[in-house]
Structure 1
Amino acid sequence: MMIRSEQDIIHLIEQDRWMMDILHAAKKLRLPDWWVCAGFVRSKIWDHIQGYSERTPLPDVDVVYFNPDCCDESVEKEYEKQLFSWMPEVPWSVKNEARMHLINQMPPFRSSVDAIANFTETATALGVSLDDKDNVILTACHGIQDAVDMVVRPTPYYVQSHDRAMIYEKRVSSKNWSRIWPKVQIVHILDEEY
């Protein structure tokens, strides 16, 4: 199957029992504005495009939510414990995006989708969730083209200054994605703009 649309990505995820089990587990937490995001979605797309029959192992499965009324990190850890009790083999990571701007030294986010839009790369700024009828929904803050073209480029926030560009460059350098997925193309910005 060629991936040409958001619906194609949704279909790809719906056909993956493991991914659907993860989405159902996350939904059981009843978190406000929740999404499973980043590498969870991007790696599935890239594995499919590369023609891999085995899933590339994920360092973590990122569950994000948005609750400005309770920004205590220990609450996130309790959610992780609950998820581990249901699916202990999954490397869960739960974060309340209402506090993550402080960690990342960014302006406050307005929602989980706003936070996802400010992830480092456009191909990673993806998230999936389930609606009230358990249909998969996708947020693709910068579209899906970079993800399906396997192009890694910074989101707009990371091209606004040399310091932010350095964060992007260090991150993509540390990930070594082109070794895992040979079709990946990295856009380097320091040489071009600074």
Structure 2
Amino acid sequence: MKKQTLALIQADPLRIDCLQAVQELRLPQAMICAGFIRNLIWDAAHQFSTSTPLNDVDVAWYSSEQLDPKFDLELEFQLKQQLPNVQWQVRNQARMHHRNAVVTYLSAKDAVERFPETATCLGISMNHNNDVEWCVTAGLADAWALRLRHNAHSGLALSVTQQRINEKNWLAHWPRLKCLPELLGLS
């Protein structure tokens, strides 16, 4: 699945540009995550002829030494200078546990692995040799299976995942997605 996913990313010039822009920042543990990968997989599985436009490009990174949220805004500004048509959302995961009211994240990978739904637990980065590095745990399998399930490891309430599915209108946009019964309130 990584090979198939990488082929989709490599065929998308915008996604390659995004990966290179984030790589140039040289942030510790930085990766682009969530819908950047998930939406591309869902689009391919639905055989859409064009990619769903990205609402934003989520960048997760980690440094316990740089916790000021203003620094993330500065990084977003730098990325916006390189790719002005991209809506960037950069977040140091060392402080995001406060916003999510969960146990402290130990790394960017730990944070991504604890996103609300498993199909969103996806991260990708490009190292200094331009090789791709993955953070995908169970996310790739669920994304390709079009399976929406709550990430029990997230520390978040099931209602958070249910709310996200509704607010983001995923089932209308990608009608072949399958919600597990607990997300539909049937369990």
Q: Normalising by structure 1, what TM-score?
A: 0.90
Q: Distance in 2 between matches of 1:171 and 1:188?
A: 16
Partner in structure 2 of residue 18 of structure 1: 14
1:9-158 to structure 2, matched below 5 A, reads 9-157=5-153
Write the distance in 1 (CA, Å) between the matches of 2:186 and 2:47: 32
Shift of 1:143: 4.4
Which whole-Å CA distance do the structure 2 matches of 1:187 and 1:61 have between them?
27
Q: Which amino acid letter does the alignment assign opposite residue 185 of structure 1? A: K
Output the CA distance in 2 between the equivalents of 1:169 and 1:180: 16
Distance 2:128 2:26 in 1: 11
Which residue pairs with 1:170 in the alignment? 163
Letter in 2 for 1:147: A
> Is the 2:31–2:61 contact (alpha carbons within 8 Å) kept by the matching residues of 1?
yes
The residue identity in structure 2 corresponding to 1:172 is: I
| Structure 2 SS opposite 1:144 | helix
**What CA distance in whole angstroms lies between the structure 2 residues aligned with 1:132 and 1:88?**
23
Q: Which amino acid aligns with 1:150?
A: L
CA contact (8 A) 1:116 1:141 kept: no
Q: Aligned-pair RMSD on alpha carbons?
A: 1.5
Unpaired stretches in structure 1, ≥5 consecutive residues: none
Question: Aligned pair count?
Answer: 186
Structure 2: unaligned runs, 5 residues or longer: none
Q: SS in structure 1 opposite 2:157?
A: helix
